[in-house]
């Protein structure tokens, strides 16, 4: 038995061939939600949800119910089940109750798990013959596995452990965990397989293996079972009444017995799979991966065990989400510290470009790359592997025209903008951020990173019977990837923030030569109390000349709970996120400061009370969004905001005091609000 795990390759951009595009288009047309047939290891009965009249039934009904399907059409469901289970059926269909599938029913001497789901005006009832009592042991093993898996803190270790646990629990020959890359192609990131089976770990597969409509279905229904890929499906029979619902119109998306796409069945046959059981891994409404258990012979698993495994899969997805969030926060804090050092070197240095490229902390310390360029005031300075000045001007002019003043990031100019690649043939990846006046920018360049991608089967036409056929063989097939740099990952956001920092330095340089480091809060990068008081005095002087000046004093409600329950690292991450939200919401000329543990102040010049109130409401909404994030779901994070204007204040400190008092009024009034 093999059970290793491979670290995923993130952000591999791949060329999509014409044949692959054709497969994606063709697969999207297949009516997988309305196949007009079911798998034959159970029977499907479709009833009118209001009357319980049978409007459609699988043609294998006689095998399970002892009555021909044609004799049951148009009859009341009680003719199949008796009247006793009807109240339980109604409870399951009533979303307001806590009743859950399955409902155990007896038809003659046979016991069934009846699984009910709504589908428009109808109710789908899957009847699956009850399996043996070993299911209770499997359920206990699943919950024990959940406790063991909860201790893993990296995606790689969690993937590997989850594959081992699922292989032990299910007894399936092979368990694979897939990760989906940004371009929708997949990678096998964990695997446990029986001896003698070809290994698939680390292999990639094209997006058309799981087309878009199938992914949408996997978001709607988080589990899927195929009991026997060689079994002929059972067709659905419908009423002959022309006003009755057509069998092809019945949406079987939620049906357990929904039949399988012929393309997928051929795919399974070519892989030697007789049965499979799959689970979706979902984060924030996005399908991030799949778990697939495959067996070489037909195999059924009870509904109760399948749903318990669905809970386990959901835990794995949530855990992966938390791991990613914590990793991102740690990385953000690390990058914030580097960026603070970079910006600190700019304050009193007359040559910003030279400092960015060759100071104690540089652009390349913040974002690793093979070369970098700064263009300020029309003067270009570069270091490392960067295009010549003429090539840069042509490249950046073209990119600015395409992104309209926004940041630009590409791992492959050759793939994303093939017409621009000849301008800088030695460069594969570009990250560019506009800065200041029109035409100025900062940019990072990366050269080609040659590597190979191992595919789950030869992707060429010779490995398919037709263009639309599944691959005949799934033996590992290697392909060299050229014209691609290392991925930029989340560096685009950090580059954008550095661009804003440079703009602020340029903006404030004309007003003051104060040491910027002494006036910055080290955690958030915002102005500290000293800087705030300076800006208040400046703003109040403007008020005496007739300008409107308002101050927003913000206090976070619930930060202590975050620190106490989730730790100070998470609390710091909340403060950083709120600081980012305040900066993105305020104008460039406004002063955003952090003056205490959970206290922030915004000084707004040329701003009326009414305009300040609008800004306050926007901030409150943004902070509520932060409170809704999964990592903070156990605590309530809101804000209380006090608003004051200079018209009633004696000076800057008095204006700050009035805003502070207004904040406490908001807090006493119930929090999560503003007050004047």
Supply the residues annotated as catalytic: 598
Residue count of the chain: 676
Distance (Å, whole) CA 620 – CA 253: 39
Of the candidates 282, 165, 158, 262, the residue with the CA atom closest to the CA atom of residue 217: 282
Other residues' Cβ atoms within 10 Å of the Cβ of residue 380: 19
The H or E element that residue 278 is part of is strand 275-283
Distance (Å, whole) CA 613 – CA 605: 14
Distance (Å, whole) CA 488 – CA 410: 8
Token pair listed for 28:
């999207």
Distance (Å, whole) CA 113 – CA 89: 12
Distance (Å, whole) CA 211 – CA 55: 31
Which conformational region is residue 171 in: left (phi greater than 0), alpha (psi within -120 to 50 degrees), or beta? left
Distance (Å, whole) CA 660 – CA 48: 62
Other residues' Cβ atoms within 10 Å of the Cβ of residue 673: 16
What's the CA angle centered on 14, arms 12 and 18, to 5 degrees?
165
Of the candidates 601, 568, 576, 490, the residue with the CA atom closest to the CA atom of residue 525: 576
* Alpha helices per DSSP H over 345-388: 352-358, 363-366
Tell me the three state secondary structure of residue 522.
coil
Tell me the three state secondary structure of residue 600.
strand
The sign one gets for the Cα dihedral 156, 157, 158, 162 is positive
673-675 and 638-645 beta bridge pairing: parallel
Bridge partners (DSSP) of residue 290 are 178, 280
Cβ-based burial of 513 (10 A; exposed 0-12, middle 13-18, buried ≥19): exposed
Distance (Å, whole) CA 511 – CA 17: 56
200 neighbors 4 (Cβ within 8 angstroms): no
- Using CA atoms, how far residue 663 sits from 600, 616, 617, in Å, is 11, 11, 14
């Amino acid at each position: 038995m093999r059970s290793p795990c491979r670290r995923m390759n993130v952000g591999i951009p791949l060329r999509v061939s014409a044949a692959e595009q054709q497969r994606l288009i063709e697969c999207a047309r297949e009516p997988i939600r309305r196949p007009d047939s079911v798998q034959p290891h159970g029977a499907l009965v479709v009833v009118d949800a209001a009357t319980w009249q049978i409007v459609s039934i699988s043609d294998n009904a006689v095998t399970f119910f002892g009555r021909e399907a044609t004799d049951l059409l148009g009859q009341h469901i009680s003719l199949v089940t008796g009247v006793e289970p009807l109240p339980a059926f109604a409870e399951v269909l009533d979303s307001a109750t806590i009743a859950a599938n399955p409902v155990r029913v007896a038809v003659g001497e046979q016991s069934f798990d009846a699984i009910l789901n709504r589908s428009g005006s109808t109710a789908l009832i899957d009847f699956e013959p009850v399996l043996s009592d070993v299911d209770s042991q499997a359920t206990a093993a699943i919950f024990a596995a959940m406790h063991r898996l909860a201790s893993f803190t990296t995606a790689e270790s969690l993937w590997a452990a989850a594959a081992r646990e699922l292989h032990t629990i299910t007894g399936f020959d092979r368990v694979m965990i897939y990760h989906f890359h940004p371009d929708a192609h997949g990678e096998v990131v964990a695997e446990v397989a029986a001896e003698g089976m070809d290994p698939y770990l680390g292999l990639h597969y094209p997006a058309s293996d799981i087309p878009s409509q199938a992914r949408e279905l996997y978001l709607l229904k988080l589990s899927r079972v195929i009991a026997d890929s060689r079994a002929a499906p059972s067709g659905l029979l419908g009423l002959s009444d022309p006003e009755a619902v057509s069998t092809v119109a019945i949406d079987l998306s939620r049906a357990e017995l929904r039949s399988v796409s012929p393309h997928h069945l051929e795919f399974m046959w070519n892989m030697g799979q007789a049965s499979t059981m799959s689970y979706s891994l979902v984060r924030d409404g996005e399908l991030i991966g799949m778990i697939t258990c495959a067996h070489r012979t037909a195999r059924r698993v009870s509904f109760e065990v399948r749903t318990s495994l669905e809970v386990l899969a959901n835990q794995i997805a949530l855990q992966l989400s938390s791991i990613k969030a914590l990793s991102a926060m740690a990385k953000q804090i690390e990058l914030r510290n580097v960026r603070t050092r970079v910006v600190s070197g700019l304050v009193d240095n007359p040559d910003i470009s030279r400092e960015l490229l060759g100071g104690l902390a540089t652009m390349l310390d913040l974002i690793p790359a093979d070369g970098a360029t700064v263009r300020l005031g029309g003067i270009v300075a570069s270091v490392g592997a960067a295009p010549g000045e003429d090539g840069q001007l042509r490249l950046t002019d073209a990119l600015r025209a395409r992104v309209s003043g926004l940041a630009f990031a590409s791992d492959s100019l050759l793939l994303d903008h093939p017409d621009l690649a000849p301008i800088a043939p030695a460069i594969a990846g570009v990250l560019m951020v506009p800065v200041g006046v029109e035409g100025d920018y900062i940019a990072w360049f990366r050269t080609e990173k040659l590597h190979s991608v191992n595919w789950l089967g030869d992707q060429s036409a010779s490995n398919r019977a037709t263009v639309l056929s599944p691959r005949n063989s799934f033996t590992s097939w290697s392909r060299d990837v050229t014209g691609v740099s290392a991925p930029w990952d989340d560096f685009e956001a950090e580059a954008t923030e550095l661009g804003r920092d440079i703009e602020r330095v340029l903006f404030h340089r004309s007003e003051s030569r104060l040491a910027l480091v002494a006036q910055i809060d080290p955690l958030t990068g915002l102005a500290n109390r000293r800087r705030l008081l300076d800006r208040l005095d400046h703003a109040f002087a403007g008020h005496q000349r007739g300008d409107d000046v308002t101050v927003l004093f913000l206090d976070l409600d619930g930060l202590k709970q975050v620190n106490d329950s989730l730790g100070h690292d998470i609390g710091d991450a909340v403060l950083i996120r709120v600081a980012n939200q305040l900066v993105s919401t305020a104008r460039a000329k406004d002063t955003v400061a952090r003056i205490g543990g959970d206290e922030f102040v915004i000084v707004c010049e040329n701003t009326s009370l009414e305009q300040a109130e609008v800004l306050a409401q926007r901030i409150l909404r943004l902070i509520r969004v932060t409170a809704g994030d999964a990592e903070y779901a156990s605590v309530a994070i809101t804000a209380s905001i006090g608003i004051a204007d200079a018209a009633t204040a004696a000076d800057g400190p008095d204006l700050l005091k009035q805003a502070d008092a207004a904040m406490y009024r908001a807090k006493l009034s119930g929090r999560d609000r503003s007050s004047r």
